[in-house]
Amino acid sequence: MTLEKTLSNVALEAAKHADLANQLIEGVKDGIDTIEVVSQNHSVMDDWRTKTGKVAFKDLAGNTHQVDTLATIIADAEKINPNPHVMTKAQFDALRDIRKKQYAGSGFVEWGKHYTTTILDNVNEGLFSNNNSNLLWGRGSDNNVGISSTDYPMALINGVSHSIRAVNEVGSQTQNSIPFPSAPNGTKTYDSATGVVTEHASAAEAFGGLAKAAKSHVWDRLTSHTYTNGATSFQMVDNTESESGYIDIRLNLTVGVRYEISVVSDGPISNGVYGSRIRDASDGTHIASFSNENAAGTHIATFTAPTAGHSILLYTHDTTTNYSEFSIRPITEQVIISRKDLVFLESWHEKIADKDVVYPLGNVQYGANSYDGIGLLNNLVAQGYSAFGEWDTNTTGHGAKWSGLSEANRAKLLANPAHNIYYDPEVKAYIQVRYRIRVVEGVGDDFDYTYAYRGITTSWRPNRGNTDYPYFNVRGQNVLSDDYYDSGSTSSNGYFNPPNNSQREIINGSDFEGFASKKRIGHNNKCFAVPIALVQRMNQGAYHPTYNPMGTAVFTKSGVANYHWHNLPTGSIVSISDCFMNATSTKIGKHTGSGFISAPYTGPIRNDQYKYYDAIYAGQVEDLRLNANKLDVNQLREDSIRKAVAGEMRGKGKVPFTRTYISSGTAVASNTNGFIPVPVSSVSGDLSWINRNNQDTQKCQGKILVNGVAYDINGISYAGSNFENIALRTTYPSDASSGDSIQAVFGDYLPSEFDSLPCVDIIGDPKRIAATFPDGVIGQWIPQIPDGSSKEFQLNTKLNGSTFNSAVRTIDDGVTFSDLTGAFNSLLNTAKNSITHPIVTGYVALVAYKSPSNFTEPSTNSVVLGDVGKVHTSADNFVSQSNRLTPSLIGKIGKDNQDGNQLRGNSVTNAPLTSYSKLWNSNKVTHTPITLRKPINDSPAVKALPTITEKDGLLYLQFHGAELRYDTPTIVQITLNNSEIKATKGTIYRVASEVNSPLAGGVWYCNTTTSAAFDDITWSKNSDGNIRAGGSVSDPNIYFIPHYVAGWGDDQVIPIVSGENVKTDLNGNTVKVFCHHTQIPIGIAHHG
């Protein structure tokens, strides 16, 4: 190789090594730069892990990138859901929507269990009383019973599931204890015109009303008087001159307002021209007179104030007159002496952070001081937040301070869906759905708006048709506990609306939605309510059958003696207010140490099932809980008819109060459209309760003897151009004739309602009853006149049990009474529901006993849901074997006690429905023949076809049927000698076998008057045994129906009517036919 070539090669290799060296140098430089970037990013990484905000990372190209730190990323994630164990709002709402589709509406998914011991008073599944001041709901695993799958109740409200546990309960985690406000004590008044409840310093002030503002103006011709300004009781002594003495009392009233002035006297208050009266104070113009002015007793003047100044003149003539119970009040104002309290469940959503407290299960009335190892406090929120009502100043619910909980304890609560907590990312807050039980103290007994009915738009208040009643106030998240909504009050929040109210935003079946008219009521301003119960209350006054039938205390004179109503000194108690005044050493009044559970006085007072004013008894409770589950209507029908027959279906009824008497009267006209007119001059007792017009017929109760035969009274009105007659609507089958003998005892009803009625029956001659109880008395007359001969006295309602509660009688018009409870018990025939005894003339007795109320009421023929059931028939005398259902449907009591005749079921052979899915009367609803045997004790019977119907979005049990009466009718014999005669409708014929006719050998009821003779061979017998026209004649009529010689006279047809009516049975008897619905709904309607 040449040297040049060698040198060239060496130079080339040197150049390559130089390039590699340069590349190595550049690589080293690049590596050093990368190490520097990594080193810088490593330092930034520490900041990314430990700091908030953003940090800057570089890539190898030297570009800078801003990156969120780890803490910032976690914080952003928590904005969506800060805890993986708790549901988001979206998840929570999705579950609510699923439940809304799964259930029929808002109500109760589980009832809870109740107590097994019979000492306790069970209302219904899960709801019971131990006869103390609380209503109990749910029961622990010991001694419990019931169909519920949980020991405690489960509610569903607007799709939220609530476990109702430990409400106001310290020891039990399953039972709930619902307290109630104090019973009425006569110190509160309610003015329906203003909606204002006023609590007065004393019962005397409450009953006196505006009398406390009255003042003496002048008095004359009196030896003395004791009237002082504002007095309600005083004495006036006349100076016995020829002119009567008087006192002039002055008072300013509001022009245009209607007032009632009432006073009680022990003698007449007028004498000729000297009449007690109301005058215009400025000029003496007559305004009003007092009733009953010529006798002792209660005197009432009612008037509309024409001027401001009023003069009240009260007279006495030649004697000393004692005036008491002087009261002046607007006609719209009444002292509350009886009332119903409403219990309902309220549910709302609330931010936990707002009060920094969380409650177990969302229960703001949680009674225990710990939950699942978490300590709880009851002083974290103002007391009113947990109060059952504005009357409740004691209840304090236990919760945990949220900010003070450890992460572990927070996790316990967040992870358990029973606490109803979710996270709302929109407001970045935890929300808890909470609940409280509310108990609203009623303002009276007039309560008919108990459910969130569909088709009704009126906001929730006690009476849906009466605008005088205030709405219930929404509470929700607020701490003030007002019960009623007052637009002018700072502590009112809003009111509740039913499903069809236009202000509603969320439409659910069977709940009320709160409308926040003044304040926020919850997260997203939502609050809902469902009813639980309505509870009738007794009062704290002394019991008197005339003046205070709802009282519980005994009378006393301090340090002298105790008195029952029937051994009071004459004239010592003459009014309602007397029953509420505390006794003194000189005046008889109520014994303040009696009438309550722990009272020092332990003797008998009421002698019925409602002994104490502070106890809650099952018979006082109307169960308003609705089953939220979607119910199979056919199964519901069978379950409900079983309960109805067993006497387990609850209802409500009122107790009769007798006010008016006709001891010896005569009807004064005929052809009076079913009314019996009697002159007012022959009527004694109280007439003030009867509306003074000739147009309106009032509901009335009572009994009447027309020529000695007893009938019911169910309506009353005045009659005649000058109101000279009283017209009585009765069950008398036709118009009375002028001159017919009339004896009657009648009145109205107490406003209170019970499932178990404290009934009283009155025995005696109307004249003697009127003399004994001129101001009326609790109870209803047994229309049988004692005359010393042995007679059966049939009780007016079914006695539930085997003994009377009490029986007292007088034979001297009430001067003295004797207790004959034992004697009456020995006379009682429980099967016949009567006593038989030769009671002497002049005898008046009050007989008290327990009776189940009706649970059905007349209703309109309504849509049928599902199938029809079997036709139920019964004549039995036991309440547990249909003898609560029988009187509820036909108003008559079963008296048959023979085995095998208790109740039967008959198959329906035809039940056509109209296009509106209602039972059809034109196309007969028929059934197989009645198989009940001949009854004992001449017992009536009932047949009833049960179906399920829907009304206002709720389900009810519907009954169509008729009264059955066993009889042996008159039968016309048809032989060859008279077979050519025609048949008359309503007549029963026996056709001899030798007559040449399809009718031969049978007994037949003529259903349609015939134009053909019995021996017409063209008569045609149908497959159902009925006889129609035969041959080529097109005639739809049924002419003859097979009949038994003796039997129930039943035509195997269920009459389809609305309400109640009568028909003639195959025996020729007039019997009741009916369409009834249960009073209380049995479920929520659904259509999917």
H-helix segments, 103-235: 203-208
From edge to edge, which strands make up the β-sheet containing 561-563?
A: 561-563, 555-557, 589-590
DSSP H or E stretch at residue 353: helix 352-355
Confidence at residue 12, expressed as pLDDT on a 0 to 100 scale: 62
Phi, psi of 277 (to 5 degrees): -165, 175
CA distance 57 to 67: 7
CA distance 299 to 302: 10
CA-nearest of 527, 505, 431 to 91 is: 431
Confidence at residue 173, expressed as pLDDT on a 0 to 100 scale: 82
Q: Six-digit token pair at 809? A: 């009688």
Query: Chunked in runs of 10, what are the mean pLDDT values of the chain (1088 residues)?
Result: 53 62 63 61 69 75 72 56 84 96 96 78 90 88 86 97 96 90 97 90 95 96 96 93 93 96 94 94 95 89 96 95 94 96 98 98 97 97 97 98 96 96 96 98 94 93 87 95 87 92 89 90 94 98 98 96 95 93 95 96 91 96 98 98 96 98 91 86 91 82 96 93 91 87 97 98 98 97 97 98 96 96 97 97 97 98 96 95 97 91 86 90 89 93 98 97 94 95 94 94 93 90 86 80 88 95 92 98 91
CA-nearest of 552, 687, 535 to 624 is: 535
Q: Are 542 and 590 in contact (CB under 8 A)?
A: yes
CA distance 800 to 833: 10
DSSP H or E stretch at residue 543: none
CA distance 261 to 212: 13
Q: Is 729 left (phi over 0), alpha (psi -120 to 50) or beta?
A: beta
Q: Six-digit token pair at 928? A: 């197989």
CA-nearest of 270, 269, 247, 274 to 321 is: 269
Phi, psi of 872 (to 5 degrees): -90, 135
CA distance 453 to 442: 21
Q: Is 297 left (phi over 0), alpha (psi -120 to 50) or beta?
A: left
Q: Residue-wise over 795-831: b if at least 16 C-beta within 10 A, else e?
A: bbbbbbeebbbbbbbbbebbeebebbbeebeeebebb
Burial class (CB in 10 A: 0-12, 13-18, 19+), 891: middle
Domain ranges of the chain: 24-80, 87-181+339-536, 188-335, 541-612, 653-852, 856-967+1052-1084
Q: Six-digit token pair at 1081? A: 């709904």
* Terminal-residue alpha carbon distance, the chain: 107
**Collapsed DSSP state (helix, strand, coil) of residue 38:** helix
Phi, psi of 804 (to 5 degrees): -80, 150
H-helix segments, 658-816: 766-772
Please state the pTM of the whole predicted model. 0.89
DSSP string, 299-311: EEEEEE-SSSEEE
Which amino acid does the sequence have at 474?
V
Q: Are 746 and 728 in contact (CB under 8 A)?
A: yes
CA distance 1004 to 878: 34
CA distance 960 to 1058: 9
CA distance 496 to 473: 7
Q: Are 105 and 508 in contact (CB under 8 A)?
A: yes
DSSP E strands, 900-1013: 903-906, 908-910, 925-927, 941-951, 954-964, 971-974, 988-991, 1003-1006
Phi, psi of 363 (to 5 degrees): -85, 105
DSSP string, 752-788: EEESEEEEEEEES-HHHHHHH-TT-EESEE-S----S
DSSP H or E stretch at residue 408: helix 407-415
**Collapsed DSSP state (helix, strand, coil) of residue 195:** coil
DSSP H or E stretch at residue 350: strand 339-351
DSSP H or E stretch at residue 1064: strand 1060-1064
Q: Report the relative pairing of strands 286-289 and 277-280 from DSSP bridges.
A: antiparallel
| Secondary structure in 3-state letters for 452-513 | CCCCCCCCCCCCCCCCCCCCEECCCCCCCCCCECCCCCCCCCCEEECCCCCCCCCCCCCCEE
Tell me the chain's radius of gyration from C-alpha atoms: 40
Q: Six-digit token pair at 248? A: 């002039």
Q: Which CATH class is domain 188-335?
A: mainly beta
CA distance 279 to 287: 5
The total of other beta-carbon atoms located within 10 Å of residue 522's CB is 24
CA distance 682 to 224: 39
The total of other beta-carbon atoms located within 10 Å of residue 258's CB is 12
